[in-house]
Amino acid sequence: MVNKKVLVLDDEQTRHDGFNKIFAQDQVTHAMDYDGFAEALKSGPHDLVCLDHDLGSTADPDGNVVLNKTGLDAARALVALPPQLRPKQVLVHSHNVIASMKMVDLLREAGISVTRKPYSI
């Protein structure tokens, strides 16, 4: 029996594996980057959304490093959702203290219940 609908945003597979163990009885959707996260949001409201902040970088055609969208972008996407589609709870699991607190503040100001707890393997 599925207890919760969970969405996890993180660019590290080991963390996804860990969340699978933590939420073994739940329906877990995984996103490795912002685009995957945005796509997963279309599947309807989630009971819990777990957000990392730092989602890595890529290189443009000239070889220049381009930072990917971050967990703050994902938090902004959650705030932009109609209230009935927002998650019941958000867990910010980033170790980036300054950026994760920006995420927490943004979500709380929008009335979304949020907890910050850095993820450790």
Strands ordered across the beta sheet of 48-51 = 27-31, 5-9, 48-51, 89-92, 114-116
The CATH number given to 5-116 is 3.40.50.2300
- The confidence score (pLDDT) of residue 121 equals 56
Q: Cα–Cα distance between 48 and 87 in angstroms, integer?
A: 6
Put simply, whether the predicted model's pTM sits higher than 0.85 gets the answer yes
Q: What's the one-letter identity of residue 83? A: P
Mean pLDDT, to the nearest integer, of 81-99? 94
State both tokens at 47: 């009971």
Domain ranges within the chain, ordered by starting residue: 5-116
4 Cβ contact list (under 8 Å, min separation 6): 23, 26, 27, 47, 48
- The confidence score (pLDDT) of residue 2 equals 60
